[in-house]
Amino acid sequence: MKTISLIGSTGSIGTQTLDVCMKHNIKVKALAAKRSVRLLAEQAHKFNAEIVCVFDEDKYNELCGLMTDTDAEVLCGMDGLCKVAELDGIDLFVNSVVGMVGLLPTLKAIEKGRDIALANKETLVAGGIIVMQKAEEKGVKIYPIDSEHSAIFQCLQGNDKKQLNKIILTASGGPFFGKTKAELENVTVEQALNHPNWSMGNKITIDSATLMNKGLEFIEAKWLFGVEPEDIEIVVNRESVLHSAVEFDDYSVIGQLGTPDMKIPIQYALLYPERYECDVNRLSLTDYGTLSFYKPDYETFDCLRACIEAIKKGGAYPCLVNGANEEAVKLFLERRISFLDIGRIVSGILTEFEPMEINTYEDVLKADKAAREYVVRRVSV
Ligand code: MN
């Protein structure tokens, strides 16, 4: 029986991860969430968790009150998240929090030699250099939970990675596929939150509408699979059925297909290399009839272009675009900036900052903070 610890348990990936654990008898030793303590406590009871942690410290007392009928240890804050990540006696640490907050727990787990199932994009985008270096040093395996990276990972099984010629990273195109910038000028928060194929949390749904999400995934792919930016092609598949593909040196292309449901990549990461029945609708190609493919529109979607430029420039630039985007999305959701402002801000940061190197976690924090301050400054004038 496998044992995991999980941070981000009340989010979209977190709750689906727990569904997979329930179905396949995976033991959940520790759980953490941002601030939804009622659901968190419910999950902790259901799985008999030994440790339960809430990130927002003002929710600590409430969580303690909800756990008094158990022997569970109750923790809070970043220290708590890191304890969940470092926990002894687990096979896999699952990181499904949203944002930069996921980076330190990832580094702590690697330090302990713990294998990781990773849904937290920002970990690799902001800290890719140090995360991959440390993971290699410690022999830690990182299993991607993101559907695209899981697809690429699956396509590489049984093949020699040295013969990988190109990654074909697929995108849904988001709710604003085919639109021009002029048509996107007055997009509302509600319109941006309405994704055609995937149901996800707010931050990633906005990132999918701006195509920032694909930009982040582009950067992640570079780190996870050790390829150059020139060797990753983004292709829009409107149906989100081809989850990504790889091309080998003989130009044979192998792709992974399935209905758009995160349970498949979550289960593959948790049970790798085993494959068991998954609680999803099966793919019927004939029900779809046709699959459509397009080039992405780099003109309209500034965020996507900015991410690719950032990883080509290297150093702190990926971290800067990520930090700027997190801040900009927050402002958009608060209705303080427009939809297109997100792209303007994210691409603006590339020309505003001199190159900086990333060698340590502190360097990442510094760049991230600088990016956020830039956004606040820019918006308040
Ligand atoms: Mn994805």
Q: Ligand 1 centre from 172 Cα, in Å?
A: 9
Q: Ligand 1 centre from 106 Cα, in Å?
A: 19
pLDDT tens per residue across all 381 residues of the chain: 899 999 999 999 999 999 999 999 999 999 999 999 999 999 999 999 999 999 999 999 999 999 999 999 999 999 999 999 999 999 999 999 998 899 999 999 999 999 999 999 988 999 999 999 999 999 999 999 999 999 999 999 999 999 999 999 999 999 999 999 999 999 999 999 987 777 678 898 999 999 999 999 999 999 999 999 999 999 999 999 999 999 999 999 999 999 999 999 999 999 999 999 999 999 999 999 999 999 999 999 999 999 999 999 999 999 999 999 999 999 999 999 999 999 999 999 999 999 999 999 999 999 999 999 999 999 986
User: What tokens were used for 235?
Assistant: 């292709």
What is the 3-state secondary structure of the chain? CCEEEEECCCCHHHHHHHHHHHHCCCEEEEEEECCCHHHHHHHHHHHCCCEEEECCHHHHHHHHHHCCCCCCEEEEHHHHHHHHHHCCCCCEEEECCCCHHHHHHHHHHHHCCCCEEECCHHHHHHHHHHHHHHHHHHCCCEEECCHHHHHHHHHHCCCCHHHEEEEEEEECCCCCCCCCHHHHCCCCHHHHCCCCCCCCCHHHHHHHHHCHHHHHHHHHHHHHHCCCHHHEEEEEECCCCEEEEEEECCCCEEEEECCCCCHHHHHHHHHCCCCCCCCCCCCCHHHHCCCCEECCCCCCCHHHHHHHHHHHHCCCHHHHHHHHHHHHHHHHHCCCCCHHHHHHHHHHHHHHCCCCCCCCHHHHHHHHHHHHHHHHHHHHC
Q: Ligand 1 centre from 61 Cα, in Å?
A: 35
Q: Ligand 1 centre from 381 Cα, in Å?
A: 34
Using DSSP bridges, classify how beta strands 242-248 and 232-237 pair: parallel, antiparallel or unpaired. unpaired
In whole angstroms, what is the distance from residue 132 CA to residue 201 CA?
Answer: 26
Q: Ligand 1 centre from 27 Cα, in Å?
A: 26
Quick one: pLDDT at residue 196? 74
In whole angstroms, what is the distance from residue 345 CA to residue 332 CA?
Answer: 11
Q: Ligand 1 centre from 150 Cα, in Å?
A: 9
Q: Ligand 1 centre from 71 Cα, in Å?
A: 37
Q: Ligand 1 centre from 301 Cα, in Å?
A: 17
Q: Ligand 1 centre from 370 Cα, in Å?
A: 27
Q: Ligand 1 centre from 147 Cα, in Å?
A: 5
Quick one: pLDDT at residue 381? 67
Q: Ligand 1 centre from 67 Cα, in Å?
A: 34
Q: Ligand 1 centre from 204 Cα, in Å?
A: 9
Q: Ligand 1 centre from 63 Cα, in Å?
A: 32
Quick one: pLDDT at residue 123? 87
Quick one: pLDDT at residue 201? 83
Q: Ligand 1 centre from 235 Cα, in Å?
A: 13
In whole angstroms, what is the distance from residue 370 CA to residue 26 CA?
Answer: 41
Q: Ligand 1 centre from 69 Cα, in Å?
A: 39
Q: Ligand 1 centre from 146 Cα, in Å?
A: 5
Quick one: pLDDT at residue 8? 98
Q: Ligand 1 centre from 109 Cα, in Å?
A: 23
Q: Ligand 1 centre from 239 Cα, in Å?
A: 13
Quick one: pLDDT at residue 232? 98
Q: Ligand 1 centre from 247 Cα, in Å?
A: 19
